[in-house]
Structure 1
């Protein structure tokens, strides 16, 4: 498997980045506690997506979307802690995480889905068994990173899952054109699999917190200290674009080759020029743990 090359422009604060990613891996395993933040605060963001041009933000307390003046508005009536979240190519929302406090459901949501932009949800599988912290789709295949057990799981029918590689990761990304190619962010760099997540080469090269594939030749990553990178060759080499606004990242989604969504310490930002400039779409209040 191809080793990742670390360009000279990406060598700043490597030790600090590794420590930051290690802390993020630990923080993301913490169970949801709605008492951490005021109900009105938009914080603890775990995923971003667009459907029909509308921004959706998966948070510690439900899915939010911009209302008047960009203020976050709850979508539907569920205030679950949506840890994993992605919008599939057909517009279906896929999510995982923990139910809101006081609910009578299982402690882990498994895989749930919404076909009406998050207003209602149905359980697809693994309810009470799995909390996926990252989800990715390609070619009808769904990949989920089971954070509790440190394992990648894969399904084609969203009901029956196959266990694949064990690894310690924060985020995953699946190639939009080669569904068997999967990347995972780890404390030692980006780990690559070319066999559908059955095996991974050791993480190496650029240390990134989140990765997202906008197009075959447009793979984006953001480092723990908020530097945005782009790869045109599937992660073999990374080119630094520059810092994202607001500091430490919480989530990254590449909508296409040029349109990016990134959540950081003070906002959800959008770029339409491949990360050269950003506009803040929603304000964020950082939690006590900086997340």
Structure 2
């Protein structure tokens, strides 16, 4: 496996912080990024919190960022007490992290496009599936290097203890499935989707949000069918193994369901949501990225605390 450390040009930038601005598009990172320019959090593709370290992350066009969480109450289950007052770009890496998930305690999985300094090594510039066990400071290639850009990643444990990974191949428009932690892959259904959500209690059950409505697969993403009566969700996540599903529709309304049949609306986010992730705890702590920034909430978005606020600068 190939390990990626911090790019030499940006090695000194590990502690640079700045306020976030929204960047548009989902293309590879720019060919040149001046070392003197402070990084910005930018458009967010994924959010997650690692129960092993207490660290909370945002995966973006400009790398993976460590988010400040010290001001959150003790009920928030992922506080590392780092003393951060602003987000930190980890390892100074401008990796365009399109797919991202906390696959388990201490294990991050990602995909997308490399930092510009690493890009000449890849043709086409696709990272395939990469993993980190040191909080996104370094990354190992697991598979599909140079072949695939996975725009969404979901990981669930199989009964035999193996890690199943679902990934959306943005180039082919298909779901890829690995039953051995990302070493080998099979091809699932063709589906034009925005988000995947796999049921941690039923690994063969996976949902996809699409322009035509919510779809469900009960055969490990080999086929999908419509979920009748569900709201038109853009983002979806599972609240652990409880079976509770939390989604945000295309108009920014938060929905909750325990069975994918009956849905209850809870709160309104601002604008079109970018990312959603379940954190855990006795209260249903969530991370939401919308036009306000990155928000933490324990009541489905009714009240929120800003971890990143768009428009603020150092």
Q: Is TM more than 0.5 here?
A: yes
Q: Deviations over 1:64-114 (max 9, x none)?
A: 113566322111232110000000123300000011224323200000000
Gaps spanning 5+ residues in structure 2: where? 1-23, 69-82, 158-162
Contact 2:235 2:276 survives alignment (8 Å): yes
Note if contact 2:39-2:62 (Cα within 8 Å) is conserved in structure 1: no
Q: Is the 8 A contact 1:185 1:209 kept in 2?
A: yes
Of Structure 1 and Structure 2, the greater helix share is in 1
Greater C-alpha radius of gyration: 2
Q: Counterpart of 2:265?
A: 240
Please tell me the root mean square deviation across aligned C-alpha atoms, in Å.
2.3
By how many angstroms is 1:35 displaced? 7.7
The alpha-carbon deviation at position 254 of structure 1 amounts to 1.2
> In the superposition, relative to structure 1, how do residues 185 and 39 fare at CA in structure 2: closer, same or farther (>3 Å)?
farther
Alignment CA distance shift 1:285-1:237 (3 Å): farther
CA-CA distance at 1:199 after TM superposition = 0.3
Q: TM-score, normalised by structure 1?
A: 0.82
Partner of 2:42: 43
CA distance in 1, matches of 2:114, 2:58: 17
- Point out which structure has higher relative CO (alpha carbons under 8 A, 6+ apart): 1
Deviation by residue 1:199-233 (Cα, 9 ceiling, x = unmatched) = 00036531111111113332111122221111111
Instruction: Tell me which of 216, 219, 235 is aligned to 1:210.
Output: 235
Matched, 1:267 2:293: yes
1:280 aligned partner: 306
Gaps of 5+ in 1: 1-26, 287-291
Q: Is the 8 A contact 2:234 2:250 kept in 1?
A: yes
The 1:39/1:226 distance shift into structure 2, 3 A limit, reads: farther
Q: Does 1:120 align with 2:119?
A: no
Distance in 2, Cα, partners of 1:82 & 1:236: 33
Q: 1:40 Cα shift?
A: 3.2
Q: Determine the structure 2 residue equivalent to 1:155.
A: 178
SS state of the match for residue 76, structure 1? Answer: helix
Shift of residue 29, structure 1, vs aligned partner: 5.3
TM-score under structure 2 normalisation?
Answer: 0.76
Equivalent residues of 1:97, 1:132 under 8 A apart: yes
- 1:93 paired with 2:108, answer yes
Where does 1:106-145 land on structure 2 (aligned, <5 Å)? 106=122, 107-139=125-157, 140-145=163-168
Does the 8 Å contact 2:295/2:307 carry over to 1?
A: yes
Instruction: Give 2:253's aligned residue.
Output: 227
Query: Structure 2 CA distance, aligned partners of 1:33 and 1:77?
Result: 15
Could you tell me which residue of structure 2 aligns to residue 289 of structure 1?
A: none
Does the aligned pair in 2 maintain the 1:259–1:273 contact within 8 Å? yes
1:61-76 counterparts in 2 under 5 A?
Answer: 61-66=62-67, 70-76=85-91
Paired residues of 2:99 and 2:112 also in contact (CA < 8 A) = yes
Contact 2:26-2:61 within 8 A present in 1 as well:
no
Give the equivalent residue in structure 2 for 1:176: 200
Q: Can you list the C-alpha shifts for 1:4-29, whole angstroms capped at 9, x where unaligned?
A: xxxxxxxxxxxxxxxxxxxxxxx865
Give the direction of change, closer, same or farther, for the CA distance of 1:284–1:178 in structure 2 (3 Å limit).
Answer: same
